[in-house]
Amino acid sequence: MPDIVTSNIPERIGRANQVDPGILNFLKANNLRLGGKEPFTDERRHHTEVLAVEPPQHLVHVRVEPLIVRGPVGDFNVRCYHPSDKKGAAFIYIHGGGWTVGSLPEFDTFFRIMAEESGVQVYAIEYHLAPEHKVEQYFLFEATLRWLHQNASNRSVDPNRISVGGDSAGGNMAAVTALRMRELKGPKIALQVLIYPEAKVPFETLAGAENCTGLYLETQGVLLFAWNVLPQGKNHTDYDITPLLADKTLPEGHRNLPKAFIITNGFDPLRDTGFEYAKKLKAAGNEVLYVNHEDLTHGFIQFTKWSKRAMEETVELARTVGKELAN
């Protein structure tokens, strides 16, 4: 049975006695890690080799539309995944990978699941990776949001039901986009979906210590990823890098933000900082849905081919988003 998504944030969270065997066997068989000691270029190549696979047969029919959107530093590519049963809502998504690793083909099955199980159009942003490119990734999110609002009627999208989301570093960028749009009085966001987000570096947390290695995301690797994406002189505690600390740098702090759906995992270095972000949003008066998957790891939305639990919770995630954007 899928874990229960709740609007009542628990007092504490943790991890199960053991990690999901399907994920653990997959990670070991493929020697797959994020933020390891090998050169990041090798890590990129290995992720593509392992994760850029054909979608399952029941999702092959999902139509994928290539789009080009004008951005702050030139045009960029977006893929739109069309559900069979369109409900007039949209989900703008930017993938994770520490800003350094990852590509749309590696997340293709996830996007198909999201579209088909939610009934929502999924707009997946392709962005240049760090360290070759720094910070500009955040502005592609905003550019896509503004573009979709401007073209909503042509895209058969209700502008009141446009959501944003991302996993890991993508979850960080989605949270930052919600904060920025409030600060700039930008386009409306109906829902922010933060999948094991990097709300803050996890080095001092229990989750960062007990899940430091061997569970896909390496805690030490988060330091490398932050180094890769930050320009020289950028303060890592600014809200547009560390959304958990927005109450330290913005007058409104975490108040008056879109409803949030936050997902964390027991065997994930980012578990505790994601949980803290859920609590801060709730304490600031925002609507929050939350779930912690005690037996899953970082990256589970990409592991659905190899883990029944990963598939189960990814489908449930998509259905929850669909319900939230239904009207």
Between CA 238 and CA 99 the distance in angstroms is: 17
Between CA 260 and CA 245 the distance in angstroms is: 17
Say which amino acid occupies 252: E
Q: Is 268 a catalytic residue?
A: yes
DSSP 8-state class, residue 274: H
Between CA 179 and CA 256 the distance in angstroms is: 9
From residue 284, alpha-carbon distances to 64, 247, 274, 280, 281 in Å are 38, 10, 15, 6, 5
Tokens of 142: 């905003």
Residues in the chain: 327
From residue 127, alpha-carbon distances to 41, 87, 101, 131 in Å are 16, 27, 11, 12
State the residue for tokens 């993938």. Answer: 95
> Which of 192, 173, 195 lies closest to 268, judged by CA?
195
| Catalytic site residue from 168, 254, 293, 295 | 168
| Catalytic site residue from 240, 272, 298, 307 | 298
Tokens of 239: 């809200």
| Catalytic site residue from 108, 167, 268, 295 | 268
Q: Is 133 a catalytic residue?
A: no
Q: Is 75 a catalytic residue?
A: no
Q: Are 202 and 269 in contact (CB under 8 A)?
A: yes
Between CA 178 and CA 252 the distance in angstroms is: 13
Between CA 171 and CA 282 the distance in angstroms is: 17
Indicate which residues carry an active-site annotation.
168, 268, 298
